[in-house]
Chains A and B, each alone.
Chain A
């Protein structure tokens, strides 16, 4: 069964600290892995997309890594800011169909305290 599991479910950190969010998946055949940020009451916003051949991709203070062999990804946030408080969703796409079916994780709820 194709699944995407994220950990931790929630995380609280102090402003300025770094943190790492985890994503494990069983989706096969793999096409790409995406990280989205979803602010409360808003739609998800794309942070990174990585294909099989990419190990790491950065977007400002966000750095995503991908290990396609172990089917694991992480999202590292550097020097956190209050505006980083949001849900971070890992999404994996398969290549078994024209649509490129997306499998969504339940997200990690990050809270940054001043």
Chain B
């Protein structure tokens, strides 16, 4: 079992609220990622990090922001949630080498009313 944890698992919240999705891993991985996944669709990379104080935007434009102050922690924040943000958000981590697998958390299913 992968040691990567996401909280909350489910969140239903009103428009305009500030939201932080938590992601933590205990494997000491330098690389961490945030993906967005809609039902029946492929995963889309929205943010990634090579290590502490390193964050980059992914392929899919997102109004969210991330931070990487500690190796094990990679939270994602939405300053003002909108219904268009409704989706599943998956966090992943991997060791340094390119051929290493990504370990995924079980995701946060976010619904904005």
Contact = CB atoms under 8 A, between A and B. Distances in A.
Interface of A: 4, 31-32, 34, 41-46, 49, 51, 89, 93, 95, 99-100, 102, 104-107
A102 B41 CA distance: 15
Nearest to A32: B99
Nearest to A43: B104
Interface stretch (B12-20, B42-50, B65-73): B42-50
Interface SS, A side? strand
Given A99-B48, A104-B42, A42 B107 contact: yes
A32 to B, nearest CB: 5
Interface SS, B side? loop
For A44, A46, A89, A99, the residue with the greatest tally of chain B CB atoms inside 10 Å of its CB is A44
10 contacts: A4-B42, A42-B107, A43-B106, A44-B43, A45-B2, A46-B103, A51-B99, A89-B43, A93-B98, A105-B42
A50 to B, nearest CB: 9
